[in-house]
Structure formats: C-alpha cells, structure tokens
Structure 1
Amino acid sequence: MTNILIADDDIHVLNLIDIHLTEQGYKVFKAYNGIEALEILNKELCSLAVVDVMMPFMDGYTLTKEIRNLFNIPVILLTAKNQIEDKERGFHAGTDDYLVKPFEPKELSFRIKALLRRYDNNPDEYIVRIGNTIINKKSYEVKVGKRTILLPLKEFELLYFLMSKPMQVFSRDHLIDQIWGLDYEGDERTVDVHIKRLRERFSKLTDHFQIKTVRGVGYSLEVNRE
C-alpha cells in the first residue's frame, strides 16, 4: 500500500482528502502543521506529500524545502492563492506540482498518480539524499558535498539501508539478514565493526546525520534538522 502524507491545518480539507485517497487504496497520514509532518516522515515511509502553504509553526514553503533536503519524495503544494509569484516561490522551494483551492479531489488524485509514475520511472529512485550526503545505488558512489567516496560493498549497502530508513531502529540480526543474507554464518559483531567504520568515515565529513546506538536493540540513523 502506498503511503501519502497530507499536511493542512484545515481539518475539513484533511478529512476530505483522507476519505477520497483512502477510497483510492492509499494509506493516509495526516498532519496539522509542518512540524507534525516532519515527525511523521521520520517515522513512516511515505511516497508523496501534499502540503498546504498556510500552516502554523512552519509554512508549506519551509516544509517543502525540508522535505526536499531530507527525503526523495514528490511534493504537491496546496494554496488558496493563484498569483504567479506564489507559484514561483513554491517551485523555488522545490515543489513538484501546484494545486489551487478549492479543487476537485479527483484532480488531486490524477496529479498524485502522475507524480508517482514519474518517480517510479526515474533513475533517482536509486538515490537517497540526507543533507549534503547523496548515496547512489546504481553507481555505488557516495557524495558528501563535492567529495566522492567509494565504500567497500557491505559498508555501502549498510549505509544505503540506514539512509533509506532514517529514524528507524534496527536490531543487529535484522541488519545481518538485510545486508549479509539469511545464510550468513558470522556473528553480530560484524555489524558493530561496519558501523564503527562508517562513523569514523562520516563523522568528520557531515553533521546532517549520525548513526546512534540504541542500547539493547541495535542501531538507528538519526537526521539532524538544524
């Protein structure tokens, strides 16, 4: 099931979109402001975000910039305005599409489907970006700013897995299954060694993320939004 995030401080708009998209087979996560939206995105793997421009605490333009910096998902901006300046500001913020209120739910659905198809067919689906760090699963390259890094295969796969699922906690056994496979006969200390190497490599290169140890559980890649 495809997860869609809806961020709007108007409960009526939220409920209308929720009902329509749920009927279309999507799972909808609702946020009443930009801060709640980011909290959801850090916990749930969403495929697309629908963001209202006018929200308390963090407006839609700022939220769109944050999403563009931290996640590789398309964004549709909702606004009550139809001025060219507002559209320009939205696209400068990084939105993929723009929809003016009031709108027909069917039109929103059409636009969502079009964006999901575009992203599905886009080679960027192999690319994950957090802050100034970009990891490309096709070229097996990691870029931090202007610097390109080639990692040993298992280190790359471990970093890609963790960056693809930020703010989620994984046990050592789960990481072994995902990276080394079910038939791996080594022990969980292998994970610790690879995590240590990744920390040593990237702690001096970026402060946008760090791999945290969760005592008694395993590891989590945490994103720094400041």
Structure 2
Amino acid sequence: MKEKVLIVEDERQIARFLQLEFEHEGYEVKIAYDGVSGLKEALEGDYDIVLLDVMLPVIDGYEVLEKIREKSDIPVIMLTAKDQVKDKVKGLDIGADDYVTKPFSIEELFARVRAALRKKNLPSKRGVLKFADVVIDFNTYEVRRQGIKIDLTKKEFDLLEFLMRNAGIALSRERILQAVWGYEYYGDTNVVDVYIRFLRSKIDDPFDKKLIHTIRGVGYILRVDGNED
C-alpha cells in the first residue's frame, strides 16, 4: 500500500514540485495551501507523514504543529527558509520530527522522510532504562533523577535516552545528530550543543553530581566520574 504524504505549503510552485517528485517515488500525495486546511487534513486524513511549511497564511506552521501534537504523533517534517538555530529548536521543541531549510535537495528530503517513517514504524518501547540515579520509564515516558520528576521535551528525552544507552562512550556531535534526529545531518552541528545545554540545565545543574561531560574536539560522554570541562 502506498504511503500517504500531506504537503502543507502555500507556495504553489514548490508544492507542485514536491507533489510530482513524491508521486514519482511512489507516494500518495495531498496538498493543503494554508494552515487551517492543513491542520484539518492532518487530523482527519489517514496520512503517514506531514511536510509542513512554517510561513503559512491564516495560522503559521508552528501553531499548526502545536495543535497536531495535542491529538496526534504523526511524523512532521518542517520546511522553512528560517535557518537560525533558535528557529530549529522551536520547531523541534514543539514536536517536529525534523527540520529542513530551503533551499534543499530533493534527495536529502527523501532521506529524511524515510528516516522519519522508519522511526514511526519501530515497535513501542516498554520497561525502564537506568543510569546512575537517572531512570527513564517508557511505560509513562517519565524521567526521574533521585526520585524527582524531570520534564523534558521530546528531543531532550530522545537525547537523554541515546546518551544513557551509550553511557561511558565518547559520542561525536555527528553521531548524536544521526541517532537522535534520524538522518545524516548536513550543516551546522550547533543544535547538539544547544540541546546538551538544555538537558544539562534539567539533568545536571539542580544536582551535585554531573553526568554529562564535554570531550573537547569530539563531543560528549555520559559518565558518573571525571572532570567537568
């Protein structure tokens, strides 16, 4: 059965280009040209993934994504000309699965769509994951340290899980990007540093023992002992 793609894009030339390219690859495609109709389609249609522009008429892509996430965990890839790290972080924090800046290569977009669909089709995780005094409970998607509940965004949660599953291993920024964001990243790796800073402010800063350590020139490592750089 064909996988269904919803494209929410007000620039008709771009929307038509994407439609033709995705149909050529075997996807079934529907287009919405504004935020209201895009939101309605995303919530009422049976789609496998949404490609969502940020700058949309009526309501913008960020608001559309927020409303989608209130009711659905469908994969959403944001498409936008905004390439600042703060804009990417905003989209990812709201719940985007990926963030692609214009102009982009269609091959890269296909790769990111395939990655998002693979993650969607992974079996649900159950049980708990522990490291030191940090516990991730996949049954409730709660994180606790020393018994204290810590509220994390989706990407912070995914980043912490990856660090915990690879505790004691030096992880490059590129490897973290590929694992947590689900694709081979093209461009600035600053988003990793931003999210590590966010995660440290919740996991490390309120506690005496620091767990997330910097390895200069390489990336990061999760460990109980060692010097904080």
Normalised by the length of structure 1, the TM-score is 0.53
**1:182-201 alignment, distance < 5 Å:** none
How far off is 1:122 after superposition? 3.8
Residue by residue over 1:167-225, the C-alpha shift from the partner in whole angstroms, topping out at 9 and shown as x without a partner, is xxxxxxxxxxxxxxxxxxxxxxxxxxxxxxxxxxxxxxxxxxxxxxxxxxxxxxxxxxx
- Look up the match of 2:18: 17
Match of 1:73 in 2: 74
Secondary structure class of the residue paired with 1:70: coil
Q: Which residue number corresponds to residue 221 of structure 1?
A: none
Query: Which runs of at least 4 in structure 1 moved beyond 4 Å after TM superposition?
Result: none
Cα distance between partner residues in 1 of 2:123 and 2:112: 16
Q: Cα distance, 1:77 vs. partner? A: 0.6
- Alpha-carbon shift at residue 82 of structure 1 (Å): 1.0
Measure the CA separation in 2 of the matches of 1:63 and 1:122.
27
Q: Distance in 2 between matches of 1:70 and 1:22?
A: 27
Cα 1:111–1:88 change in 2 (3 A) is: same
Q: How many residues align?
A: 126
TM-score for both structures, normalised by structure 2? 0.52
1:5 aligned counterpart, secondary structure: strand
Instruction: Give the alignment of 1:26-45 within 5 angstroms.
Output: 26-45=27-46
Which position in structure 2 is the counterpart of 1:4?
5
Are 2:42 and 2:50, in contact at CA under 8 Å, matched by a contact in 1?
no
Q: Where in structure 2 are the equivalents of 1:143-162 lying within 5 Å? A: none
Structure 2 gaps of 5+ residues are 126-138, 141-229
Q: Which residue of 2 aligns with 1:103?
A: 104
% identical equivalent positions: 35
Alpha-carbon deviation of 1:33? 1.0
Question: Structure 1 residue 55 and structure 2 residue 56: aligned?
Answer: yes
- How far is the alpha carbon of 1:112 from its aligned partner? 0.4
Q: Residue 114 of structure 1: CA displacement?
A: 0.6
Q: In angstroms, what is the RMSD of aligned CA positions? A: 1.7
State whether residues 75 and 96 of structure 2, in contact with CA within 8 Å, keep that contact through their aligned partners in structure 1: yes
- Residues 1:56 and 1:72: Cα distance change in structure 2 (over 3 Å): same
Structure 1, residues 47-90: CA drift from partner, whole Å, max 9, x if none? 11010010011111111111111112111011102111111111
Cα distance between partner residues in 1 of 2:95 and 2:75: 9
| 1:62–1:93 contact (8 Å) kept in structure 2 | no
For structure 1, list consecutive stretches of 5 or more residues without a partner in the other structure.
Answer: 125-138, 142-226
Which residue in the other structure is 1:119 paired with?
A: 120
* Separation in 2, partners of 1:67, 1:121: 21
Report Cα offsets for 1:104-138 as digits up to 9, x if no partner: 111111100011001101417xxxxxxxxxxxxxx
Contact 1:53 1:59 in 2 (8 A): yes
8 Å CA contact 2:43–2:71 kept in 1: the answer is no
**Partners of 1:86 and 1:122 in 2: CA distance:** 30
- Helix, strand or coil at the partner of 1:108: helix
Q: Are the structure 2 counterparts of residues 82 and 42 from structure 1 closer, same or farther at C-alpha, using a change threshold of 3 Å?
A: closer
Task: Give the equivalent residue in structure 2 for 1:85.
Answer: 86
1:87 and 1:107 mapped to 2: Cα distance? 17
